[in-house]
Structure 1
Amino acid sequence: MTKRGYHHGNLRQALVDASLALIEAKGPTGFTLSEAAREAGVTPAAVYRHFAGREDLIAEAARQGYEIFGDLLDYAYDEGRPSTLAAFEKVGRAYLAFARRYPGHYVAMFESGISIQRDPGLNAAATRTLGVLEQAAAGLAQRLPEGRRPPPQMVSAHIWAMSHGVVELFARGSPGTKSPFPPEDLLETGIGIYLRGLGLLGPDA
């Protein structure tokens, strides 16, 4: 593993970057604060100027991940409009792209056991990210009569779960789970079937 080091005044971010490299290599519980310090090129004592422990360090990596993730989803949704299906497809593809491009952040966010309630900053970043999907779902619901509109929180949770499942099973190289179809195609068809089942898309949309 390459030693990263840091520039004066940026120790906090250097430690986060070090933790991301270690998370990718060893998982969220496979390294110590001393290893993160060594990777960043500082003494273990220096870590405690910024983080109380390993979980605080991972929580900051997760917070930054949610910030990046939220920006990607927001951009993807805006790029896909005015077609509702295209917007949701782009959001799903952004989910897959994020997991591939930012594996350390992804693991910190979803596989570390760190609760998004751990601190206000992490909670705000995660809530904002989920809000992108809820906003999209609320826009979709306008296609139906008021009494038949599904709760946006439910729709966004289902889309999130579907995207997460495709990532976990077919987009991260899990042993024994190879699909004959590309992950993007699995997610695209799954979203289409789901939205049509709710009556949110017509058969030709």
Structure 2
Amino acid sequence: MSERTTVETVLRHARGIVNLLTVPLDKTPEQHKQLIHSLAGPISAHALVSRNKKRIDSPSDLILSNLANDGFFFNSVLVIFDLIAAYEQRLEELEDQEKQFWNISHRAPNYYARTIALRFAKHFGRKKNVRPTFGTSSDGNHPSTEYGRALERVFEILEIRADVRKSAEWAISQLDEENWDPSHNPKRILLGNGEGTPSRIEGMKRITEALLEQKKVR
């Protein structure tokens, strides 16, 4: 099994767990809400009893003990949220690598330079909410845009000996509008992909609020 297949499989199962164990207050049938509420208490209690029987011999033991003491059901779902975020980031990296290695023309490009330029372009777009651009100044052929100047500095720090312009222009060509405008991001949070589904941030907020509500009644 390839690394990408493994990551995609983990994400599919993790999202399935969250779909089963969360209760968005505005969409979930009352019967399912009651089912989750009735499940949260016993699961948290069993985890607490189990952890209390074990000695705390390491930092990991302490973390797990604190997690159980504060409400295992609630906290375990939040841990899965973090797991999903980490695996989504790795999947994005693997997808970027595939784009690079399957888009070879006549001469092999500098893959490392392209990887850095693309990751930085996506980071720049998310932070600035604008599409990165690249241009050169008339005096000296140096980068004239904010992204270009910053990327040139990144290359200097990492000692990348590659053409900044070519790397930047390739990276920009790989971007979609979702990379700088969150409203165009088709990836929806864990609740499905139907029309009218809330954005990832809004969906996460609703699920977190629902989990907090579950914790109050456990």
User: TM-score, with normalisation over the residues of structure 1?
Assistant: 0.34
Largest Rg, 1 or 2: 2
The structure with higher relative contact order (CA 8 Å, sep 6+) is 2
